Amino acid sequence: MSTEPRLQLRLALLFLALVVWGCENSPRAHRVTDLATEVAEDGPQDNAADLVDEEIDVLPALATLHNGTTTLVVDPAASRLQLFRGDSLLLEVELESLQLGVVGAFDDAKLYDPYGFFFASILTPAPPLKRWVSATDIAAIEEAGAGLTVQVRFDADRILPLHIAPAADSDRFSLELEQLPVADGLDVPVYVRLRAKVDPTEAFYGLGEVFDKVEHRGTVRAMQMELDSSSESGGNEAHVPIPLLLGTRGWGLFVESYQAGLFDVASVDADRVDLIFAVADGARPLNFKFHLFSEAAPIDLTRHYYELTGFPIRPARWALGPWLWRDENLDQAEVLDDIKQIRDLDLATTGLWLDRPYATAVNTFDFEATHYPAPQEMIDAIHALGLRVALWHTPYLDEAHPATADLLAQAEGLGFYPTKTGLQRLNGWGRPLDFTNPRAVAWWQDHVRAYTDMGVEGFKLDYGEDVVGGALGIRSEWSFYDGSDERDMHARFQHGYHQTYAELLPESGGFLLCRAAAWGDQVRVSVIWPGDLDASFDRYGDTVTPANGNPYNAVGGLPAALVASLSLGPSGFPLFGSDTGGYRHSPPDKETFVRWFESTALSPVMQVGTSDNDLPWVFKPENGFDPESLAWYRQYARLHLRLFPYVWTYLDRLQTDGRPIQRVLGLVHPELGVHPSDVFLLGDSLLAAPVVERGARERSLVLPDGDWLDWWTGESVGGGPLTVAAPLGTLPLFVQAGALVPMLRPTIDAMAPTSDAARVDSYATDAGALWVRTSAGPEHSFELFDHSSVSQASSGAVTTLGAVSGEEFVSGAVFEVIAEAAPPSSVLLDGAALSELGGVAELEGSAPGWFYETGTRTLWVRVPAGAHEVVVGR
């Protein structure tokens, strides 16, 4: 999309500011111990007034809930709650650090957004607050099924129940502070604050998409979009805020709230995590619910979030890319020429999307007839070459365009818009549809089917962030069909928007690429993309002075893209794809583009395009692209596609173990004591260190313990700090010694069916042999998503390789054993000598054999279908 709507967004925010300124739960797994039964003479209490009058003389010395290896201790004497894993104290909540933020009277016109407590300004003034009321002591503890109800006293006139329940068969507890009706004359709670005591040395991950750094210590993270006049975008870029905080000592905290909130992650006190959420909802405030959990390995913590909110949806296989797109397609002829170039230039590509403009106007649900005279023929031609097609969409009608007049009249006449639409309009076209109205959803879907019936299988869903809480301390009032308002719809609007399209995707999965999301949205959003990043090496917040002399604070380029991807994985969104090359201030130059696709080739999703229509073969003086950069792109695009079996297997496993696919180093290996934002593991066995500094030709990093091999050369490097050469065109990439990396064949072009198999080598036509890169080293095995399996074990001068065919890879396997100093002395297949082949080209046949390539020090072994063992002697 063009930058014009983004500029309109920023101007709208500025205009708004000026206007408003002027105006374990199985019986085995959990149990309650040391709990006195007579906590109060008359049993559980119903309201605060009764509790205040009650004489409570007996409290247990200690109330302890066990769930698996995790324990939650309620200590009345010390007035605290403690979370343990085994004997290790992970987190502590002193009662005085549990607070209610109260006001004298609730004012429905005011904005109760805690962001202003930390970032007060004209745009975000300090929110309404009379005082903070701290919990003082525990008045009573009662058994409640498998859990507890703890009566927490806040002051003489207020006692609130805190319900604690262990989760079934999981090291997790749910805690809910119940808000009771506020008696006349009492101050009204509008915020809940929790200041947890943590290890002053540990690191923190999660909290959704951020752009400055992956590890959060020392930051304050808002859980909603906020105005930020210092940023070129006009906002704080909180497009995917997730109230999920993970500590590297092995604990997690998830706040189950869509209300405005924030996390102060040890920015004031090194041993404190401070979180504040709004609970303002009139005379009876909202309950405040959160979850605490633990795991031995921090990388396993996100599974608890998925168990609470749903495991991520899997897109179609072709959705992982590479994808190509132009910001503005001239016409159908250009689209047809692009797909021809893709195949003529031998660029591994699985799909393309059409950004606007392609329709008569935004959401006229057609193709503009002059420029796209035969759209069905165009889509059929795209499919014929093994590509899939997606379209850019928004939740608006272009209300100023005559082509939408009839649609607009229908939507307004049938009541398909929110009855109140706030002060802001953060787009250049119109009001968002009310997706809480089932009839509005059905109406919109009927129109979208004009595209899906033609074979469109994916959508790039832009915008949808119009519903914001307000500004300058005043609500921006919204009202929706289901009775909700902006207090939670600032987050939940995304759910309805995305669900409307998700229901139209094919059973194979399709593809939704979304700019914004809220917690729980992973069950419908295929892939997150970060919006409009800079086509540069600039970091988030850098002050940049361009040629025109007008400085701006950068949203961020390649470094920010990498941070966003690594922050989203542990936050519940495992699939991410930035605009390779960047968007703002396009075109990228050659170095920026090359370093960017080096990085995205090793991300779960690779999508390539810029606001200047810089496709890899578009050479022009402004971008400096040339045959060298095109050749490098071809190499990395194919590597990305070849890694499909490896990546898809980890996506398959994620449905059980919850582990991210792209894994930030500090969360996987906290013992290293380093937390870089630009080093990651892809799965268990690959480690990438993208170059994110302009002009850099070497890269310093810290490798985990063990033996690692350079992916490109096979050179062995040990764990610990090292500096490696990184010339342009070479991504620093390492593989664990002995590990197995399953791949597709080197000629693969696409994943989807093709009618031109002679021209397009597609997985859908033939999965082919499974190619596996490995080396002699510690014993490893790898079971794939289709139940194929491979193994490697080395002892002395002998390496044993195993291969078992699965449900899709039924043509045997090709082992690529790197770092072999000399040809083997023998190669046995199931005990019989294996024939030596004449070259690498023969490996693609079905005949078993082996070949040693001297120049690359690589031993190639072709294994037939079935279950086989290869023994290599040296």
The domain limits of the chain are 22-309, 680-732, 767-873
- pLDDT category, 424, cuts 50, 70, 90? low
**Mean confidence (pLDDT) of the chain:** 92
Which amino acid belongs to residue 587?
P
Q: Report residue 500: phi and psi, to 5°.
A: -60, -40
Query: Same CATH fold, 680-732 and 22-309?
Result: yes
680-732 — its CATH code? 2.60.40.1180
Whole-prediction pTM: 0.93
pLDDT of 660-705, one tens digit each? 999 999 999 999 999 999 999 999 999 999 999 999 999 999 999 9
What's the whole-number mean pLDDT along residues 486-492?
Answer: 95
CATH of span 22-309: 2.60.40.1760
Q: What tens digit of pLDDT does each residue of 16-72 get?
A: 443 333 333 332 233 333 332 222 223 333 333 332 333 334 577 889 999 999 999
* High-pLDDT (> 90) share of the chain, %: 85
- The answer to whether residues 546 and 585 touch, using CB atoms and an 8 Å cutoff, is yes
3-state secondary structure of 834: coil
pLDDT at site 234: 82
Burial-class residue 129 by CB neighbours within 10 Å (0-12, 13-18, 19+).
middle
User: Which amino acid does the sequence have at 630?
Assistant: L
Give the closest residue to 79 by CA, choosing from 136, 154, 150, 164: 136
Q: Architecture of 767-873 per CATH?
A: Sandwich (2.60)
DSSP H or E segment with residue 383? helix 375-384
Per-residue model confidence (pLDDT) at position 471: 86
Q: What is the dihedral of CA 126, 128, 131, 132, to 10 degrees?
A: -80
Of 18-32, 175-189, 490-504, 773-787, the range with the lowest mean pLDDT is: 18-32
State CA 397 to chain mean position distance: 29
Q: Would you state the torsion angle of the CA atoms of residues 31, 288, 172, 34, taken in this order, to the nearest 10 degrees?
A: -20
What does the block give as tokens for 642?
A: 């070849």
User: Can you tell me the distance from the alpha carbon of 434 to that of 429, in angstroms, rounded to the nearest whole number?
Assistant: 15
